[in-house]
Amino acid sequence: MTRKLELHWKILIGMITGLLFGLIMKNLELNGLVVDWIKPFGTIFINLLKMIAVPLIVVSLIVGLADLKDISKLSKLGGRTVLIYLGTTIFAVSLGLVLANIVKPGRFINGASRQSLLESFSGDASQKIELAERAKMSGPLQPMIDIVPDNFFQALSDNGSMLQVIFFVILLGIGLILIEEEKAKPVVDFFKGLNEVIMKIIDIIMLFSPYGVFSLMAALMVEIPDFTTLAALGIYGLTVLFGLLIMIFVLYPTLLMVFAKVNPIRFFKAIAPAQLLAFSTSSSAATLPVTMECVTEHVGVDEEVSSFILPLGATVNMDGTSMYQAVAAIFIAQAMLPQALDLQTQLMIVVTATLASIGSAAVPSAGMVMLVIVLGQAGIPEAGLALIFAIDRPLDMCRTVVNVTSDATVATIVAKSVGKLNQFPQDKKL
């Protein structure tokens, strides 16, 4: 009897074999071979996911909004979503601050390691600082201006303009709700058909996922700095990891049980492919198509809700990132400043890290660029970024899992609150 292996197991096998393969190649000093011949398949896989993300957002959001049939439902949905997103983010930053103040990871780094990290990674750090400077130069209302596109087609062609796309599509959806049903119907029907097609394309792309993940992990293994560099940052890394684990295994399960009456184990099983992809790609945006599919088809959140909440969440809701920013800021302050940060500065970090995580793009290491702004506001030397560079990639992978889990959790809770959750419908294999 042959039983089809579930997708998340295949991805997991791809991940582990990729890591092992990378390790062997690294030991054989065949790094170049992996970078030239294996890594491109990982890049192709990420490109495929990104390629489908914008069409998916546009089409499913139009279908979802048109199905709402009532503007007041949209504002209710929007209000709840934003509130819960903000709530979980503020919790995450506060948790990060508490952990970093208790563990004091900055005190574990000795003078020699500090010097060597600062020297080795100062170039990489100044690149990020420059990127952040550019983001900082604009006025306080710039983020608001940035949401409104001056050219929708330009926004469509730029994966970094997801919020602009969402803005326009919401207007389109509102337009469809407000016009006569008879006139709206052919438009909505067209997009419903297209939606099915896009979902099918995602299924096809996912067939490739175990191989894509294998390549990404093998490339990661040969490109990561060596173990001694990572070991110096061990306590800092473990503090971030511990915080992320609390979010995943305590916060979200509690929220799911209390507010959505959902069994967390079944929930995690349903979204496992999205979590594994988040880990492998370090990008919530690239993972979005799979998150949408898992949350809609496996968890049972109605598309009306998921099509609105998940794209928004991928761009603005980053609990893992904000938690990491809080720990990283305190770590750098402890390692670089003679005195501890006062309470007022730490409270400022809650505000800036919350805003910074909202402003972070859903792509690898974006959280680190925005961390520069958090450091600047708190008077912590930005050059300290060089300290955490070596370990950023593995932590990025882990915080992206939390970002995606948070989006899926909030979508489930909001769906339950508006009666749009049909828990774990007959599981359709991806």
Residues in contact with ligand ASP by the rule CB under 6 A = 282-284, 318, 321, 360, 362-367, 396, 399-400, 403
The residue nearest ligand ASP at its CB is: 367
Closest distance to ligand ASP from the beta carbon of 425 (Å): 27
Segments of 273-392 assigned E as strands = none
Nearest to 152 by CA among 167, 131, 133: 167
Nearest to 332 by CA among 131, 132, 96: 96
| Cβ closest to ligand ASP, residue 159 vs residue 423 | 159
Cα atoms in the 13 Å half-sphere on the side-chain side of 380 = 32
Closest distance to ligand ASP from the beta carbon of 29 (Å): 30
Closest distance to ligand ASP from the beta carbon of 369 (Å): 8
Nearest to 408 by CA among 199, 212, 255: 255
| Cβ closest to ligand ASP, residue 53 vs residue 117 | 53
| Cβ closest to ligand ASP, residue 22 vs residue 367 | 367
Closest distance to ligand ASP from the beta carbon of 183 (Å): 39
| Cβ closest to ligand ASP, residue 191 vs residue 324 | 324
| Cβ closest to ligand ASP, residue 60 vs residue 403 | 403
Q: Please answer whether residues 347 and 423 qualify as being in contact, where contact means their C-beta atoms are separated by less than 8 angstroms.
A: no
Q: How far, in Å, are 103, 127, 183, 190 from residue 187 at the CA level?
A: 56, 46, 8, 5
Closest distance to ligand ASP from the beta carbon of 181 (Å): 38
Closest distance to ligand ASP from the beta carbon of 151 (Å): 25
Q: How far, in Å, are 11, 24, 37, 338 from residue 21 at the CA level?
A: 15, 5, 13, 44
**Tokens 């730029």 map to which residue?**
158
18 membership: H or E segment, kind and range: helix 7-27
Q: How far, in Å, are 210, 313, 387 from residue 127 at the CA level?
A: 33, 27, 14
| Cβ closest to ligand ASP, residue 94 vs residue 321 | 321
